[in-house]
Amino acid sequence: MADPADLRAVVDRVAADPLIRHRVDRMRDAVHAAGGVGLAADLVVGRR
């Protein structure tokens, strides 16, 4: 199991990577355009 410092180092490295940031931004925009996380959750649990 990784300790908190190792996890933090990985998160910091990923957050600083411009290509990953760009892709995460695109994913966020796609989720938002499709109705947002609330709709996604509803679809997963079968409420819609």
Q: Whole-angstrom distance between the N-terminal and C-terminal Cα of the chain? A: 38
Q: Could you tell me the CA-to-CA distances from 48 to 24, 36, 38 in Å, in that order?
A: 26, 14, 11
Closest CA relative to residue 10, chosen from 18, 2, 19, 21: 2
| pTM of full prediction above 0.75 | no
Q: Identify the pLDDT of residue 32.
A: 96
The per-residue pLDDT string of the chain (48 residues; one tens digit each, 9 = 90 and over) reads: 779 999 999 999 999 999 999 999 999 999 999 999 999 999 999 987
Whether the Cβ atoms of residue 26 and residue 18 lie closer than 8 Å to each other? no
